[in-house]
Structure 1
Amino acid sequence: MSPMEFKPYRNFCSEEINSARDQGLPIVALESTLISHGLPYPTNLETALAAEAAVRAAGAIPATIGVLQGEPVIGLNPKQIEFFANSKEIRKASSRDLAWLRVKKLDAATTVAASCRIAEEAHIQFFATGGIGGVHRSPAPRFDISNDLFELTRIRTTVVCSGAKNILDLPNTLELLETFGIAVIGYRTEEFPAFYVSSSGLPVPFRLDTPREIAELSAFTQDSILVTNPISRDLSIEPDDFLTWLNRAERDAERLNIAGSALTPFLLKRIAELSEGRTLKANRGLIVENARLAAEIAVEHGKLQGDDRENPPK
């Protein structure tokens, strides 16, 4: 059952989002897990507001998504965003959790998978995040693959990210994306970005260099698109430094028996501690950069639709 089947999607949208849709304005969806589980306070609040500001500066309307008392909210207001940033009772929800949350009437921050599912049902085509989930670097017999990858096969969304989080097994993540038939686009790069690190050294199948080109691709396909935007060089972490921090964080997680949905937040927090805040600065920067790029693509997509209306095929 659809998480929004009980009511029309408009009932879950803020007045601003409904007004933007009525006017045909470009909208960019944003997730809330990074607010409640990805970054500490007050960096999480500052980052969420900066991402929304970047979307507006590029000419689009931000729609930060979360779940309050079991119901999806599309377009959290500043007070609600601050609640997500401060509360210790916010759950982390993937798409499978949405119906259960409605039954229990609980608050939850939405992952990439859940945010994209909700955005899809609200007919919002563009979404920005930091890094998607993927295949974890877990030793056998563990088997941990993010639902983000599967959800991309079920939606028609243009997702802008800085690749997959580099706490993951990136070669196998890319292999699974290929298996699922997800188009992976390198924005001004031919190499797959690695979240805090500007490049993993792994090739991407396609490169595009302008928001206009990506908007055209989005208009031509009925499938989801993963746009990978490398972190700026001045914010990028050296690969050797990151690997040292990651190996230590993984040992700590194994010692504490942390796994499943708790693993990624733990690793990101521990790596931030080991890096003395350098990864926090990088994370904030790439989230804002991705929000801006997603908005630029959404604006160009709107222009294409306007061109089509003014020049219909004969």
Structure 2
Amino acid sequence: MRTLLSKEFLECSPEVEAALAAGKPVVALESTIISHGMPYPKNVETALAVERVVREQGAVPATIAVIGGKLKAGLSEEEITHLGKKGTEVIKASRRDLPILHALGRDGATTVAATMIVAHLAGISVFCTGGVGGVHRGGENTMDISADLEELAQTPVLVVCAGAKSILDIGRTLEYLETKGVPVVGYQTSEMPAFYTRKSGFGVDYRLDTPGEIAASFYAKRKMEIPGGMLVANPIPEQYAMDADYINGKIDEAVADAERRGVKGKEITPFLLDSLQKITGGESLEANIRLVFNNAVAASKIAVELAKLK
């Protein structure tokens, strides 16, 4: 269901607006991966390629960001390039940042949480990302818990990811989601993937093997008016998965470096991802790109099935 948020705050591209009005499948895409997830020009190339993947599966892509203070669902190639060139100069925007960015007329690259909010305001039910945020390692002491988890607990958007980022405490992340009543569904898997790897040692709530089953489950949740979203964990394809011992060792190196440098808060994830890219000689970046493409295919198929139910 779409909101009546004024166009002063929210703007959908003509393509997205027409698709929503016609009841066609639309897939939201985040923009943090553009400005904070990859270097230019790889970030722009990847963002545009993901949009092509969504279209090839019969859905309409809606890359989401804040441009000049306005929440936008559906970016032009020029806007995507703008975010890619500015890179980390663009504010990494979560829920708390949206009203400030609007008031100041600033740009913002939306995290999972902020993308969910804008998607819901626009009337988009399915969102594709790389990896979802979660409880950081040592979170039992630091209370460093991503706002993504709280957003999943309250905003009715289905999020397709390659699991929780492997830089996180995946066990505690799943416990948090269980406490908040968020269904964690494995797409053709019974185990929670760990971003770069297909396995984490932790199980999901349900294994569902078809996009139709996932769409029907989310549709039922919405019709029952149960608050919150649904997390769909889609493992990275086998041929692009990294060795678990290797990548976990490299993550430990990056985490130790972050601690020495005093990197904290919302800067920690982009710092660790950039460190991993350098430590692995670009291997982690290639895996990141491939898993996003894979998630885009799954999200689009789910959106197509959901549109049939609506």
Map of 1:155-194 to 2, 5 A cutoff?
Answer: 155-194=155-194
Counterparts of 2:116 and 2:275, CA distance in 1 = 27
Instruction: Give, in whole Å, the separation in 2 of the partners of 1:77 and 1:242.
Output: 35
8 Å contact from structure 2 (residues 113, 148) kept in 1: yes
Distance 1:252 1:4 in 2: 46
Where in structure 2 are the equivalents of 1:1-314 lying within 5 Å?
5-7=5-7, 12-88=11-87, 89-138=89-138, 141-222=141-222, 223-305=228-310
TM-score by length of 1: 0.93
State the secondary structure of the residue aligned to 1:92.
strand
The alpha-carbon distance between structure 1 residues 26 and 244, as it changes in their structure 2 partners (threshold 3 A), is same
8 Å contact 2:156–2:229 — kept in the other structure? yes
Which residue type is aligned with residue 266 of structure 1?
F
In the TM superposition, structure 1's runs of 4+ consecutive aligned residues that sit over 2 Å from their partners are 3-9, 138-141
Q: Is the 8 A contact 1:4 1:72 kept in 2?
A: no
Distance (Å, rounded) in 2 between the aligned partners of 1:172 and 1:152: 15
Q: Distance in 2 between matches of 1:4 and 1:118?
A: 12
Q: What SS is found at the alignment partner of 2:154?
A: coil
Cα RMSD after superposing both structures? 1.5
SS at match of 1:40: coil
Letter in 2 for 1:84: L
- Identical positions, percent: 47
How many angstroms apart in 2 are the aligned matches of 1:93 and 1:8? Answer: 19
Whole-angstrom distance in 2 between the partners of 1:94 and 1:236: 29
Describe the superposition over 1:171-227 as per-residue Cα deviations: whole angstroms up to 9, x where unpaired.
000000000000000000000010011110111110000111111111111241100
Q: Which runs of 5+ in 2 are unaligned?
A: 223-227
Rounded to whole Å, the distance in 2 between the matches of 1:258 and 1:97 is: 20
Q: Is the 8 A contact 1:94 1:110 kept in 2?
A: yes
CA–CA distance in 1 between the matches of 2:39 and 2:198? 23
Deviation, structure 1 residue 4: 8.3
- TM-score norm. by structure 2 comes to 0.94
Q: Would the aligned equivalents of 1:135 and 1:145 in 2 still touch at CA under 8 Å?
A: yes
Structure 2: how far apart are the matches of 1:253 and 1:4?
43
Deviates more, 1:135-144 or 1:242-251: 135-144
Which sections of structure 1, spanning at least 5 residues, go unmatched? 306-314
Q: 2 CA distance for matches of 1:273 and 1:81?
A: 24
